[in-house]
Chain A
Amino acid sequence: MSRIYLDHAATTPMVPEAVEAMTRELTRVGNASSLHASGRSARRVVEESREAIAAFVGAQPAEVIFTGGGTEADNLAIKGGFWTGLKSRRQRVVTSTIEHHAVLDSVGWLTQAASAEVSYVPVTEDGRLDMSALAGTVDSDTALVSVMWANNEVGTLQPVRRIAESAAEHGAISHSDAVQAVGHVEVNFATSGLDLMSFTAHKLGGPYGIGALLVRRELTLAPVLHGGGQERDIRSGTLDVAAIAGFAAALEAATRHRVAEEQRVRRLRHELVNSVLAAVPDAIPYGPGAEADRLPAIASIGFPGCSADSILMLLDAAGIDCSTGAACSAGVAQPSHVLLAMGCSEAEARSTLRFSLGHTSSIADVRALATALPNAAHRAKAAAAFA
């Protein structure tokens, strides 16, 4: 049975261009750091990919630091940015309450291991950063300000440019986790004013295990992984040539199709939310109402009186993949910190599912969801009494 895949924000299928580019490189030998001809040809693939990726996100090639994915890019940004700031006696890290755990847990670790002071800036009901609270928090002790470009659970876009300005006013380094944004909405590193930006290949049609941190050219970032110093001495480790080629090919394809695809997916998401509300009238969509304030593909929807876990299981059995958006910490699913930060109760957070669309999604997927949902929600509500 073919699956209805509504979890593109977790990962999205590789596009044919990326598969082709990657398989072409997989069979070739050559360490990109080697001096011989095989090494040089690998290096050439890496550098051409770097140049392509840089161009697609409005960065200079030298600003692209390849990492093992989004989590590593976030870790490098947070830990490296903090250590850099510490050299000028700045100890504060400012972030939001709705970041990905790659950011939140890195920041949390800094408070324990490196006596960082952390300020968490709250968000509004639709997940947008409270800008006046940010302005009152960033100061001359601030080493780093990190706020995501777009939220992975509810899809809220943040005013990244104003956040970067706010950091720059006080001489702090700015970072944004743009993992959910790149390839899906317009992202330009140069005009954003950011110092650091993370993104990853597998969220935009590329392979797993390869990502990048953009590091503004003038910035000296303390490394987290030490060794061969392959990436500007900021990141060490033999480069994954095939994955890098796949990353560039995927971003090239995403950029080429973006404007049309963004519109198509926005319409599809609109259709999805309306169909879900028609199928389950008491369902509650979360996140911003205005299209300009949100990602095209993510729909966060609460089903009052139901456990999201139960609906997920029943949809799974009906051939539909979706997500609770909740982090699985210590083996037991926790209510989403994002929804709690937006003012939801624990019960509301535990009743919320995330449906996310992508390049393979069609109206047939939306219809299949609308067909399966009433029964799933009905059963889940009955089961909630025994949760």
Chain B
Amino acid sequence: MAGRRMKVLAAMSGGVDSAVAAARAVEAGYDVTGVHLALSKNPQAYRSGARGCCSKEDAHDARRAADVLGVPFYVWDLSDRFASDVVSDFLAEYAAGRTPNPCLRCNEKIKFAAVLDRAVALGFDAVCTGHYAQLVRTGKDLELHRAVDVAKDQSYVLGVLNQDQLRRSYFPLGSSLKADVRTEARDRGLAVADKPDSHDICFIANGDTAGFLEQRLGNRPGDIVDLAGGKVGEHAGSHRFTVGQRRGLRLGTPADDGQPRFVVAITPVTNTITVGPRDALTVKIISAIRPTWTAAPLDREWSGQVQVRAHGHPMPADVTVHDHGLEVILEAPMTGVAPGQAVVLYSGSRVVGSATISATHT
């Protein structure tokens, strides 16, 4: 079909980023349709501050932005898929003592899977989002790169996308600074220009992750033990703890060395929290499973940088690819590595792949 305009489905959350992304898609000459993803069966009427998402107010804001852009707009009900693929997974991961990243999971299972597949079946060529990341064409491949705005870079949570998904993705904000996006929204007459950014986990509207987990997974008191397995205290429920945490342990007896103690492990099977000195949190080797690749899979040996948290820094590492996943040897030991999080491999600004951290070793 010569001269056919590319059909783009713009995911519109009701926030400023996705509104400007959709506006840029329109300006680029694409045939744009806006959709708001309803991810909860019982959305709140209003969002409170920066928390929560897909409230009725957000749907309204997205609809108004689509009106201003003059594009068709619909609400797609993804609440069942979101509940099973993101929220249930989030709970199962915590129940297994890991620390999941639900935003990454949502990109992997909802936005660039369920929504993208449905869009393609309905005749769309690509899905446009307000993510801060850059797509760079080199030859026949598309490369995923960090955003120009380092503070807003979301390449970490997009690292799970493969080449097929990237080819059908469109991130118009990757080369912009957030401040400029807000100015542009204002200039375009989009009412969401000054809406606060969303933070935290969208389906935990009040930000109380521990409370959310306790309500759904229950709350059992258990023991706090040291690295040797000796009991040093008790906890009221393991959901209040994350690896690396120091505060709130309320241990009666001080450690032998008089140094502060940190959570080094959570073991759901025995419902115990293991504590130890800061040294015990230091990680040198990371094992990771379920690798995904933005282009061709890596060869057996590879050197580059790895990032282990959404807002972490890239660290030099050597990576070995084997049948069941990756082994990452960090050039320098680091802390704050939690099983369940993703280890994303970077070559400079380019995302190479992603895998789920399964174990850490000192």
Contact = CB atoms under 8 A, between A and B. Distances in A.
B74 interface: yes
Interface stretch (B37-45, B191-199, B320-328, B332-340): B37-45
Nearest to B113: A386
A383 B122 contact: yes
B74 A332 contact: no
Give the interface centre of A314, A317, A332, A383 by most chain B CB atoms within 10 Å. A332
A385 B121 contact: yes
Chain A interface size range: 10 to 19
Contacts of B348: none
A331 B38 contact: yes
A383 B41 CA distance: 21
B352 interface: no
A133 interface: no
B164 to A, nearest CB: 14
A316 interface: yes
Interface of A is mostly: helix
Given A313-B72, A313-B74, A317-B33, A330 B122 contact: no
Nearest to A382: B121
Interface in A302-340: 309-310, 313-314, 316-317, 328, 330-333
Contact of A310 (B43, B115, B122): B122
A144 B77 CA distance: 37
Contact of B122 (A332, A333, A379): A379
Given A331-B56, A383-B122, A317 B72 contact: yes
Contacts of B38: 331-332
Interface string B55-70: 1100100000000000
Contacts of A316: 72
A250 interface: no
B43 A332 contact: yes
A377 to B, nearest CB: 12
A316 B38 CA distance: 20
B225 to A, nearest CB: 46
A44 to B, nearest CB: 41
Contacts of A314: 122-123
A103 B333 CA distance: 67
Contacts of B41: 330, 332
Contacts of B303: none
B79 A332 contact: yes
B43 A383 contact: no
B33 A386 contact: no
A310 B123 CA distance: 11
Contact of A331 (B43, B114, B118): B43
Contacts of B72: 313, 316-317
B217 interface: no
B117 A386 contact: yes
A212 interface: no
Contacts of B33: 313, 317
A380 interface: yes
B97 to A, nearest CB: 32
B260 to A, nearest CB: 47
A387 interface: yes
B317 interface: no
A383 B121 contact: yes
A387 B41 CA distance: 15
Interface residues of B, number: 24
A79 B43 CA distance: 29
Interface string A184-227: 00000000000000000000000000000000000000000000
B76 interface: yes
Contacts of A385: 117, 121
Contacts of B118: 310, 383, 386-387
Contacts of B54: 331
A386 B114 contact: yes
Give the interface centre of A316, A331, A386, A387 by most chain B CB atoms within 10 Å. A331
Contacts of B59: 331
Contact of B121 (A328, A330, A332, A379): A379
A316 B56 CA distance: 23
A262 B122 CA distance: 37
B96 interface: no
Interface in B95-143: 113-115, 117-118, 121-123
Contacts of B121: 379, 382-383, 385-386
A387 to B, nearest CB: 7
A309 B75 CA distance: 9
A160 B194 CA distance: 54
Give the interface centre of B76, B79, B113, B122 by most chain A CB atoms within 10 Å. B122
B205 to A, nearest CB: 14
B122 A331 contact: no
A382 B117 CA distance: 10
Contacts of A332: 38, 40-41, 43, 75, 77, 79
Contacts of B55: 331
Give the interface centre of B41, B55, B114, B121 by most chain A CB atoms within 10 Å. B121
A309 B74 contact: yes
A314 to B, nearest CB: 7
Contact of A309 (B43, B76, B114, B123): B76
Interface string B13-45: 000000000000000000001000010111100
Interface of B: 33, 38, 40-43, 54-56, 59, 72, 74-77, 79, 113-115, 117-118, 121-123
15 contacts: A309-B74, A309-B76, A310-B118, A313-B72, A314-B123, A317-B33, A328-B75, A330-B43, A331-B54, A331-B59, A332-B40, A382-B121, A383-B117, A383-B118, A383-B121
Interface of A: 309-310, 313-314, 316-317, 328, 330-333, 379-380, 382-383, 385-387
Given A330-B56, A331-B75, A386-B115, 14 more contacts: A313-B72, A313-B74, A314-B122, A317-B33, A332-B38, A332-B40, A332-B77, A333-B75, A379-B122, A382-B122, A383-B122, A385-B117, A385-B121, A386-B114
A-B pairs, top 5 by smallest CB distance, nearest first, are A383-B121, A386-B118, A386-B117, A382-B121, A332-B38
